[in-house]
Amino acid sequence: FSGIPSPFSPRIPWNSPPSPHPFPGVFSLQDIRNTVGNIPMEWYQDFPHVGYDLDGKKIYKPLRSKDELDLFLEKMENPEYWRTVQDPQTGAELCLSEEQLELVQRLQRGHFGDVNFDPYEPSVDFFTHEVRIHPVTNRPADKRSFIPSLVEKEKVSKLVHAIKMGWIQPRKPRESTPTFYDLWAREEPDAVLGRHKMHVPAPKMPLPGHAESYNPPPEFLLSPEEELAWQQQEPSERRLAFLPRRFPSLRAVPAYPRFIHERFERCLDLYLCPRQRKMRVNVDPEDLIPKLPRPRDLQPFPTTQALIYRGHSSLVRTISVSPSGQWLVSAGDAGDMARQGRLQGVGGEGRDFGISPGSQSQSHLHCHPEELQGDSEDQDLACIPFLSLCRSQPVTQVTWHGKGDYWASVVRNPGGRQVLIHQSSRRWSQDPFRRSPGMIQCVRFHPLRPYFLVASQRSVRIYNLLRQELTKKLQSNCQWISSMAVHPGGDNVICGSYDSKLAWFDLDLSTRPYRLLRHHGRAVRSVAFHRRYPLFASASDDGSVIVCHGMVYNDLLQNALLVPLKVLKGHAPTLDLGVLDVAFHPQQPWIFSSGADGTVRLYT
């Protein structure tokens, strides 16, 4: 809106009189000290001055010491703030008059600035609309209009050479400084100010209820007996820290005697109670599930029920398979023992032999490691004379050593003799313990080393038979161990418990379970390993047998791979008992099971 042209304008001489303002009386008081001419004022943005006056002296910018808060306060307090603008020529603040505001409003509405201007007056053509044969001017074009300038070419070549040599660097873009910034953005997280980001507000006190009113309802008032009981209680046991009272008005309410005490406790809670914000880690639940191979890639393993034997009339406590896999012995609670023989295949021909030993048998019977041959009952039942040593107490388990000469039996005799080790060739027995290690549940011989494993109620002890000393004690983390099995490699042990757990121990890793499996819903009665295949199974009172893949690697740095494969069902729970014993076929990936329903089943 400058009404007087700059003296540096190339079109108007310095000594020419000022041209009249197009809008007289509107901007007649404008400051014209700055004589820089019609140039962009952004050129003076990095300098302390904004131009020069008529004498050639610098016009300095006014000092800007106001921050955002001062500007906000000025905006709120100054009634003329809305009509105050900044002069780009001098940087000074100007207050617009009523005429200037009216001009601005007309321009904002899209009207002409001059009120007297008529946009609809008839137009006058400066040139005729008729086509003439002679142009307005017939001056020939200059030669420099179509020939490149040699001077400009030389300047451009010098600039290109300077850029290539690195003498001229391009201007870096200026970083835009935000108007508002965070005061603690660059603070260290351990600094005092940095900890304010993790500030957790203190919990507010609960609002008063009806019992704290000066006129509470009758149901909130205590009877004399309740007041006596309240006074006899400890302060920490009282449901209310005060006695509800009724007053006729607020004027009659006395001062609260525990006011200072409660304020003091509130202050203690505020600065003594630690409050810390816990960082939540966003983890996909699918990533926490271990990547296990598919069961179809771990075949073979038993999947289908192929044979059922119903020769027993009561519970079938235990079963045992001969090393050749041709014979199977089972014993029940009714005092009967059955031998199923010649298992040539699934559903193949075979003969059943019924044997009555004359005394009730509730023990775990295991076949001799040497293969049973022929039909001689004297050879098949060579263990019966030895069992007469323990007939005074019920025998709960019998297990053979891998070489076939030694075998051990467990007797239910708490506090007395519970374990006996027998030698068949010499026909003698001995008690390996001077003092009972507790209530023994089951025992096992180590398949490769002279170790003897004894499972008590909560732990498994491993003894060295040559040195006659305790080698290791395994903590099962179970309430009551029910069964135990040793891996054919000898470095891993599994234990089943009555609290429906199966513990896998790695003897080279730790005395604690490497993995604790909770696949069954009720008590685990029996566990077993396969001799050839990486399989192990567990039988439970829920009527199911779970077959799992248990691969043990020769590399000590690689842990065992445990994968559940198949849940085998078929036994009907009877008398709150399900599957009582389970045994693998020594050659094939088959499994036998006996249950409380009086059946023996084969799964292939």
Tens of pLDDT, residues 393-402 = 788 888 989 8
Strand order of the β-sheet with 305-309 is 305-309, 600-603, 591-595, 579-584
Q: Please tell me what DSSP assigns to residue 52.
A: E
> Can you tell me the mean pLDDT for 259-287?
80
Q: Give the separation between CA 465 and CA 446, rounded to whole angstroms.
A: 10
* Under 8 Å between Cβ of 479 and 458: yes
Task: For the chain, give the mean pLDDT.
Answer: 80
Q: Quote the distance between the C-alpha of residue 490 and its chain's center.
A: 37
Candidate from 70-84, 194-208, 312-326, 479-493 with smallest mean pLDDT: 194-208
Mapping DSSP to helix (H, G, I), strand (E, B) and coil, where does residue 14 land?
coil
* Under 8 Å between Cβ of 328 and 340: yes
Write the single-letter amino acid at 247: F
Up-side HSE of residue 102: CA atoms within 13 Å toward CB? 9
What percent of the chain is modeled with pLDDT above 70?
80
> Can you tell me the mean pLDDT for 332-346?
60
pLDDT of residue 169: 87
Q: Give the separation between CA 241 and CA 235, rounded to whole angstroms.
A: 7
Residue 67's pLDDT band (cuts 50, 70, 90) = confident
Please list the residue range(s) of the chain that carry CATH number 2.130.10.10. 296-370+388-603
What is the architecture of the domain spanning 296-370+388-603? 7 Propeller (2.130)
Q: Please tell me what DSSP assigns to residue 144.
A: G
Candidate from 135-139, 233-237, 268-272, 493-497 with smallest mean pLDDT: 135-139
Residue 199's pLDDT band (cuts 50, 70, 90) = low
Rounded to 5°, the CA angle 475-481-486 comes to: 75
Provide the strand spans (E) within 70-186.
84-86, 93-95
- Distances in Å between the alpha carbon of 344 and those of 329, 348, 373, 587, 592? 16, 6, 15, 12, 15
Q: Give the separation between CA 16 and CA 37, rounded to whole angstroms.
A: 16
* Under 8 Å between Cβ of 226 and 211: no
pTM over 0.85: no
**φ, ψ of residue 411 in degrees (nearest 5):** -110, 140
Up-side HSE of residue 488: CA atoms within 13 Å toward CB? 14
* H or E, element range at 502: strand 502-506
Q: Give the separation between CA 78 and CA 568, rounded to whole angstroms.
A: 88
Give the highest mean pLDDT range of 19-23, 105-109, 130-134.
105-109
pLDDT of residue 185: 58
State the pairing for strand pair 395-400/337-341: unpaired
What sign results for the dihedral spanned by CA atoms 316, 321, 325, 328? negative
Tokens of 96: 């617009």
Higher pLDDT, 369 or 175: 175
Q: Give the separation between CA 482 and CA 105, rounded to whole angstroms.
A: 96
Checking if the pLDDT of 216 tops 60, the result is: yes
Residue 148's pLDDT band (cuts 50, 70, 90) = confident
Higher pLDDT, 339 or 284: 284
Candidate from 284-288, 319-323, 358-362, 431-435 with smallest mean pLDDT: 358-362
Neighbours of 438 (CB within 10 A): 16
**Residue range 440-490, pLDDT digits in tens:** 999 999 999 999 999 999 999 999 999 989 999 999 889 999 999 999 999
Checking if the pLDDT of 28 tops 50, the result is: no
pLDDT of residue 178: 67
pLDDT of residue 445: 94
- Distances in Å between the alpha carbon of 247 and those of 22, 224, 259, 439, 576? 84, 18, 19, 71, 66
Cα–Cα nearest to 26, from 103, 112, 95? 103
Strand order of the β-sheet with 316-321 is 316-321, 327-332, 337-341, 352-355
* Under 8 Å between Cβ of 526 and 539: yes
What percent of the chain is modeled with pLDDT above 90?
30
pLDDT of residue 30: 53
> Can you tell me the mean pLDDT for 560-569?
92
Checking if the pLDDT of 593 tops 80, the result is: yes
pLDDT of residue 45: 83
Higher pLDDT, 453 or 139: 453
pLDDT of residue 602: 94
Checking if the pLDDT of 231 tops 60, the result is: yes
Q: Please tell me what DSSP assigns to residue 422.
A: E
CB neighbours of 339 closer than 8 A, spacing ≥ 6?
327, 328, 329, 330, 352, 353, 355, 380
